[in-house]
Amino acid sequence: MDINFEYYKIFYYVAKYRNMTKAASLLGSNQPNITRVIKLLESQLGCQLMIRKPRGILLTEEGEMLYSHVEVACQHFFNAQEELNRYGSQAIRTIEIGATETALYLFLLDAMQEFKQEYPQMKIKIHNHATPEILKHLSSGKLEFAVATTPIPLLPDLCCEKVLDFQEILVGGEKYSFLCGAPVGLGELMAYSWVGLGKGTCTYDFYKDFFFRHSLDFELDMEVATSGLMLPLIQNGFGIGFVPERLAKPLLKENKLVRIRTDCKLPRRSIQIVSEKGRVKSQAADDFYHYLKSLPLA
């Protein structure tokens, strides 16, 4: 018997949920049939894919390898099937994109609001991660494109187009008001506590490199997972840190933050649309992609 897509689809559900009973329920089948298909698949592939355990399913090394490929293929199929159904019924079309938190707050929220007014039938699903994770999902086919903050690793299969320039500034809570007079040297600032996005993020690497170019070793005293956590921690006196000027302005006006000027110019950053070269987007995603590109560069 030839292996067909249904076998891989069944394998996908079993591997995803690690449970044959749940997979059978989601597929509208029964457990004996699910077990039979998995055994047929193992027989024709010539290897064991999974091991039954009291608490569920454990994938073998071969099973994990197969799942990494089948997951992407099934997701492409499900997305295509969903989009065709939507076009056929003239229902809502969904766009799946990735966005870093800074890109979301500085650019994407306003852009989406305007886009939704023009295309109210569109539905946008945003996956919010740090840049490395977003690029991983983009390469695996889970996202149609992404809106990310520089620096962005220069990979040969990626295309980046700038949509916004922005400036970050150094700020602290009220307890650091003694630093907001004359410009302060970077070396002197090393004596204070720092708050920032942690290791594994492009922002951490960006400032690590910036301080290295000034012969300084930059280390954080408090690492955060998302940029949204930085302002509350800085405002409450846990340290100083770099944040987008636009996001800091309201708190600066309310005197809840103080701006700390440095004796050297801080590098500008940008927000860019990232997509895979040669990859065909859905019509809905292509509409949104070109809409974002058409906005005036700030």
Q: What is the pLDDT of residue 89?
A: 47
CATH 3.40.190.10 fits 168-267, yes or no: yes
Question: Residue 193: which residues within 8 A CB-CB, separation 6 or more?
Answer: 221, 222, 238, 239, 240
Q: What is the mean pLDDT of residues 170-184?
A: 94
Q: Is 213 helix (H, G, I), strand (E, B) or coil?
A: coil
Segment 206-239, tens digit of pLDDT: 999 999 999 999 999 999 988 888 999 999 999 9
To the nearest whole number, what is the mean pLDDT of the chain? 88
With 0-12 / 13-18 / 19 or more C-beta atoms within 10 angstroms meaning exposed / middle / buried, residue 37 is: buried
Share of the chain above pLDDT 70, in %: 95
Q: What is the mean pLDDT of residues 133-159?
A: 88
Closest Cα partner for 164 from 273, 271, 274? 271
Pick the CATH number of 5-86 from 3.90.1200.10, 1.10.10.10, 2.40.50.100, 1.10.1270.20: 1.10.10.10
Our CA dihedral for 55, 57, 59, 63, rounded to 10 degrees, sits at 180
Q: What is the pLDDT of residue 28?
A: 85
Q: Which of 261, 259, 258, 257 is nearest to 235 (CA)?
A: 257
Q: What is the pTM of this model?
A: 0.66
Q: Where are the domains of the chain?
A: 5-86, 92-165+270-294, 168-267
| 5-86 shares its CATH topology with 168-267 | no
Task: Tell me what pLDDT residue 76 has.
Answer: 80
Look at strands 269-276 and 222-224 and give their pairing: unpaired
pLDDT tens by residue, 87-144: 554 445 688 999 999 999 999 999 998 888 888 888 899 998 888 889 888 888 889 9
Superfamily of domain 92-165+270-294: Periplasmic binding protein-like II (3.40.190.10)
Cβ atoms 100, 129 nearer than 8 A: yes
pLDDT at 29: 85
Token pair recorded at residue 253: 């006006």
**pLDDT score of 1 more than 50:** no
Residue 43 · residue 7 · CB < 8 Å: no
Taking the C-alpha atoms of residue 26 and residue 13, their distance in angstroms, rounded to an integer, is 8
pLDDT at site 154: 78
Which tens digits make up the pLDDT trace of 3-29? Answer: 577 888 899 999 998 988 888 888 888
Distance CA 228, CA 255 (A): 19
Which pLDDT belongs to residue 242?
A: 96
- Kindly state the average pLDDT of the residues 64-91: 75
Residue 86 has pLDDT above 60, yes or no: no
- Confidence check: pLDDT of 168 > 80: yes
pLDDT tens track for 259-286: 999 999 999 999 999 998 887 788 888 8
Specify whether the backbone of 48 is left (phi greater than 0), alpha (psi in -120 to 50) or beta: beta
Beta strands in the chain (DSSP E): 50-53, 56-59, 93-99, 122-128, 145-149, 158-166, 168-172, 195-197, 222-224, 241-244, 258-260, 269-276
